[in-house]
């Protein structure tokens, strides 16, 4: 039963719980002093963002379009932030901005389904590590030192990194934002960056405070560019009563639940699914993060119940996880996606993640992964990622009616030219330097290879935050 896992946690699980609970105690539990003002500001920003997309049409002309399947050379027409038409030789609407995409690959913006965005200021502090050491240092020492302004700087820095590399949507698993002030700073940073996000709200306090805060954050996020999910410790890493409340809260709020499940040993994986059975909590769309230790039979059960999987191939192979579940999940019929997880210990661009997934799957010792293709990797990074993020039919594809989250890649670079196979070019050869133009909901956030906006100030604040955090941790030792 799941209760037995809670009563006898593994060393890894105990380390996680201890890090999170001590971090929670070390922070202020006070509520936001001006939540209504913040909510009003965010509402105004949402309206202004919507108005900014309701401008002149934009025609992306003559690019090699991947939808993510290869469509050939075509045009993409964007109206009011939405893809209006796709095809060759589209007429230029009156007043339209025309983007010459000749020599460019046009593809959907990438979707990262599990990233701890708050870690932007602690990039690389925990390389060459294990999961237990990561818990001890990043969650146990660094996280308690984060002020709300550090959360804002880190999340904004992570969002800029994502956009720069063509990631237009992230599922932000925000266990660094466990007070109202930190949550507000986190959500504000996502809005400031202009990235599409599912904000995975985490709360480690008592049940009543958790429920009230989740309702507040649900209202704060709404259903626009930034939406809410419940980021749950789940039965693998939390106690059964808390996990039960997390699932019921997600149902009550009508939001997705994303939980670290199936990646902490076979007994934990078995007990986690038993917990869902015993409490009648199987919920379609539940995201199982990592999921390495599920058996093929257990994966089939998850598929039957409409579950999804987020694979973090770079982190999982560098730390002491089992092999990534990439091919086994897909074989079971589970929508599977890619994620960077923690930039404290691994890179955050989707190109390296696609390559990591491709190499680890095709290199499986049993030889069963040789059927995994570059097209499969690209689908995981786009259309399947959108489905796992709860945004299927919204983003992840180039098709009329989808949000205009788009990336233009240069092909006139050493290492990219010549292009014989555009899908292989994206998955095996491209990197951030090839990302020429990025749009989110029709708004250009990167143009001619440079991010739009005051990036220098954001990086200055990120660097200052890193200095504060380093000093705070050193002083605490």
Q: Do 430 and 304 belong together in one domain?
A: no
More confident residue, 17 or 219: 219
> What is the reported pLDDT for 10?
46
pTM for the model:
0.90
Q: Say yes or no to pLDDT of 47 above 70.
A: no
Q: Helices marked H in 144-239 — which ranges?
A: 148-164, 180-193, 207-221, 234-237
Are residues 165 and 350 in contact, defined by beta-carbon separation less than 8 angstroms? yes
Give the tens place of pLDDT for each residue, 352-399: 999 999 999 999 999 999 999 999 999 999 999 999 999 999 999 999
> What is the reported pLDDT for 154?
98
Quickly list DSSP for 103-151. TEEEEEPEEEEEE-GGGGGGTTTT-S--HHHHIIIIIIIIGGG--HHHH
Q: Do 33 and 56 belong together in one domain?
A: no
Give the tens place of pLDDT for each residue, 225-278: 999 999 998 887 788 888 999 999 999 999 999 999 998 889 989 999 999 999
Q: Do 287 and 139 belong together in one domain?
A: yes
Give the tens place of pLDDT for each residue, 402-429: 999 999 999 999 999 999 999 999 999 9
Q: Kindly report the CATH number assigned to the domain that includes residue 235.
A: 3.20.20.140
Q: Does residue 473 belong to any structural domain of this protein?
A: no
Q: Does residue 458 belong to any structural domain of this protein?
A: no
Q: Does residue 156 belong to any structural domain of this protein?
A: yes
Instruction: Give the number of domains in the chain.
Output: 2
**Across 38-42, 110-114, 324-328, 457-461, least confident range:** 38-42
Q: Do 383 and 317 belong together in one domain?
A: yes
> What is the reported pLDDT for 4?
29
Q: Does residue 64 belong to any structural domain of this protein?
A: yes
Average pLDDT over residues 15-23: 50
Q: Say yes or no to pLDDT of 51 above 80.
A: no
Q: Do 132 and 95 belong together in one domain?
A: no
Are residues 163 and 446 in contact, defined by beta-carbon separation less than 8 angstroms? yes
Q: How many CA atoms lie within 13 A of 468 on its CB side?
A: 18
Q: Do 363 and 377 belong together in one domain?
A: yes
> What is the reported pLDDT for 25?
39
**Residue 227's beta-bridge partner residues?**
198, 223
Q: Do 157 and 222 belong together in one domain?
A: yes
Range of the domain at 68: 50-107+401-451
CA-closest candidate to residue 193, choices 380, 461, 425, 414: 461
Q: Do 344 and 360 belong together in one domain?
A: yes
Q: Does residue 470 belong to any structural domain of this protein?
A: no
Q: Do 232 and 165 belong together in one domain?
A: yes
Q: Do 17 and 59 belong together in one domain?
A: no
Q: Say yes or no to pLDDT of 473 above 50.
A: yes
Q: Do 193 and 335 belong together in one domain?
A: yes
Q: Among 388, 410, 426, identify where a domain stops.
A: 388
**Is residue 40 very low, low, confident or very high in pLDDT (cuts 50, 70, 90)?**
low
Q: Do 68 and 122 belong together in one domain?
A: no
Q: Among 350, 366, 388, identify where a domain stops.
A: 388
Q: Among 388, 412, 443, identify where a domain stops.
A: 388
């Amino acid at each position: 039963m799941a209760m037995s896992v809670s009563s006898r946690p593994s060393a890894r699980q105990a380390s996680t719980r201890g890090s999170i609970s001590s971090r929670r105690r070390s922070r202020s539990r006070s509520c936001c002093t001006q939540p209504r003002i913040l909510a009003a500001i965010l509402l105004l920003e949402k309206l202004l963002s919507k108005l900014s997309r309701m401008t002149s049409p934009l025609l992306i002309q003559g690019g090699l379009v991947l939808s993510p399947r290869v469509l050939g050379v075509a045009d993409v027409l964007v109206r009011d932030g939405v893809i209006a038409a796709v095809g060759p030789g589209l007429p230029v609407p009156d007043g339209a901005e025309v983007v010459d995409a000749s020599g460019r690959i046009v593809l959907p913006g990438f979707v990262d389904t599990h990233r701890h965005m708050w870690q932007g200021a602690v990039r690389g502090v925990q390389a060459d590590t294990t999961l237990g050491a990561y818990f001890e240092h990043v969650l146990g020492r660094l996280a308690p030192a984060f002020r709300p302004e550090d959360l804002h700087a880190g999340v904004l820095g992570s969002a800029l990194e994502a956009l720069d590399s063509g990631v237009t949507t992230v599922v932000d698993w925000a266990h660094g934002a466990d007070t109202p002030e930190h949550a507000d700073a986190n959500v504000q940073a996502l809005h400031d960056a202009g990235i599409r996000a599912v904000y995975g709200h985490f709360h480690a306090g008592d049940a009543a405070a958790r429920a009230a805060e989740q309702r507040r954050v649900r209202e704060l996020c709404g259903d626009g560019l930034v939406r809410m999910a419940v980021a749950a410790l789940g039965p693998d890493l939390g106690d059964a009563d808390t996990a039960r409340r997390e699932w019921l809260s997600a149902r009550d709020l009508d939001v997705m639940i994303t939980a670290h499940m199936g990646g902490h040993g076979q007994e934990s994986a078995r007990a986690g699914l038993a917990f869902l059975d015993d409490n009648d909590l199987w919920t379609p769309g539940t995201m199982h993060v990592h999921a390495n230790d599920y058996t093929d039979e257990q994966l089939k059960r998850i598929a039957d119940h409409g579950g999804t999987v987020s694979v973090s191939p770079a982190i999982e192979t560098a730390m002491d996880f089992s092999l990534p579940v990439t091919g086994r999940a897909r074989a079971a019929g589970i929508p599977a996606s890619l994620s960077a997880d923690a930039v404290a210990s691994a890179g955050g661009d989707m190109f390296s993640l696609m390559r990591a997934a491709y190499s680890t799957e095709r290199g499986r010792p049993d030889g069963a992964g040789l059927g995994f293709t570059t097209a499969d990797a690209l689908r995981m990074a786009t259309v399947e990622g959108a489905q796992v993020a709860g945004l299927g039919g919204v983003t992840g594809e180039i098709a009329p009616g989808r949000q205009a989250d788009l990336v233009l890649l240069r092909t006139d670079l050493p290492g990219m030219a010549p292009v014989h196979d555009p899908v292989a070019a994206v998955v095996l050869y491209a990197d951030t330097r090839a990302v020429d133009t990025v749009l989110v909901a029709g708004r250009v956030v990167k143009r001619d290879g440079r991010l739009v906006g005051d990036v220098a100030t954001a990086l200055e604040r990120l660097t200052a935050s890193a200095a504060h955090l380093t000093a705070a941790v050193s002083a605490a030792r």
